[in-house]
Amino acid sequence: MLFDTHAHLNDAKFDVDREAVIERAQEKYNVSRVINVGYNRETIPPCLELAETYDFIYAAVGWHPHDAKNMREEDLTWLGELAAHEKVVALGEMGLDYYWDNSPRDVQAEVFRRQIALAKEVNLPIIIHDRDAHEDVVHILRETHAEEVGGVMHCFGGDWDIAKACLDLGFYIGLGGPVTFKKAEDVREIARKAPIDRLLIETDCPYLAPEPKRGKRNETGYVYYVAEKIAEIRGISSEQLAAQTTENACRLFNLV
């Protein structure tokens, strides 16, 4: 049974067949649990609605660095209130994105720090978005003592040195579709070297579809292909990889 620890099933790309996608994930691909992520005013309400509708879907709520420039004081208060929801298991995704730079970098950093502080208040783990900002993300995690709540480096894209720094802080490493890409040697090195009890698998659907679905809309069921590739890299059975990563996710997100 597989645990997709990062999905965006409320995305508009699923509007035509969302129910079928969710059913397919369970029945064809043996996905037992999903964490669906809402990251701004628009995406959080439908994210919560999905978690309330499906027993096996949980929610994470946070503020994406793309939207940092639009975050208001009342938004942070709102996130704090939502943390009490019975299906909310994490805050995020939050972090830094220097690839798109949709918000000023100092604003991204401030919003990131404030969400880490909130996570400490509500005692929830965090889901980190890091794109082309590895050193600054690690610096902020250290500076804020984010290890007090822990979390996952979502769709990790750094090298082994950055992965090691995150692991040393007690964070988990989330791997998705890119681990199946032919040229993704850094990601495969991490899949091979990271302690197996600190790995999580994810899709980030509808984005980053793995081989052999690359170029198409990603689905939460396609976490199957991520698990198969990591198991191959590590020389273990896909069943063992699935069981271990599910156990890891349940530990991090405090699920029975």
Coil, helix or strand at residue 97:
strand
pLDDT interval class at 40 (50, 70, 90): very high
Q: What is the pLDDT of residue 256?
A: 85
Cβ atoms of residues 151 and 125 within 8 Å: yes
pTM equals 0.98
Q: How large is the average pLDDT for residues 201-226?
A: 98
Tokens representing 169? 């802080």
Q: Is 84 exposed, middle or buried (0-12, 13-18, 19+ CB in 10 A)?
A: exposed
Cα–Cα nearest to 89, from 132, 150, 133, 142 = 150
Cα–Cα nearest to 119, from 86, 141, 97, 87 = 141
pLDDT averaged over the chain?
98
Does the pLDDT at position 185 exceed 90? Answer: yes
Cβ atoms of residues 10 and 19 within 8 Å: no
Please give the Cα distance from 231 to 241 (Å, whole number). 6
Q: What is the pLDDT of residue 177?
A: 98
Does the pLDDT at position 202 exceed 90? Answer: yes
Site of tokens 């890891």: 248
Q: Is the peptide bond before 206 cis (omega within 30 degrees of 0)?
A: yes
Q: What is the pLDDT of residue 149?
A: 98
Classify each residue of 41-59 as buried b or exposed e, where b means 16 or more C-beta atoms within 10 Å of its C-beta: eebbebbbebbeebeebbb
Q: Which stretches within the chain are classed as H helix?
A: 18-27, 44-53, 73-82, 105-122, 134-143, 160-168, 185-193, 223-234, 238-252
Residues 49-82 pLDDT 10s: 999 999 999 999 999 999 999 999 999 999 999 9
